[in-house]
Amino acid sequence: MLVFAFLIVILFAFYIFYKTKYIRSNRLVEKKWLSAKSNIALGLFVFFFGINSLFVSQSTGTYIVAAIFIIYGALFSWIGYKKYKHYLPFAIEEAKELDMQK
């Protein structure tokens, strides 16, 4: 499926983008917030990779590996989303405090 391949490439690009921003950031809470965003992107990447592998080959081994990827990707995305929601207010507060100091 071309749609899944497109999503896989886009999500991998988002993962690289957020990891790069994570490395370049000097703010503590912002780093945790960016890490959560990269977790979401990586989890969705693995999730859609698992779904895409179901369409490529129909064998028992493929189904097992795809199920593991889908479960792992969904779990990783869910944990990243929970972290994102937790750190978002703190990141906003940190950004406001640092902007007022300037």
pTM: 0.90
- Would you say residue 24 has pLDDT above 80? yes
pLDDT for 102:
67
Name the residue with tokens 């592998």: 53
Neighbours of 87 (CB within 10 A): 20
How far apart CA 34 and CA 43 sit, in angstroms, is 14
Instruction: Output 58 or 71, whichever has higher pLDDT.
Output: 71
How far apart CA 91 and CA 95 sit, in angstroms, is 6
pLDDT for 99:
85
Q: Are 37 and 49 in contact (CB under 8 A)?
A: no
Give the single-character DSSP code of 27: -
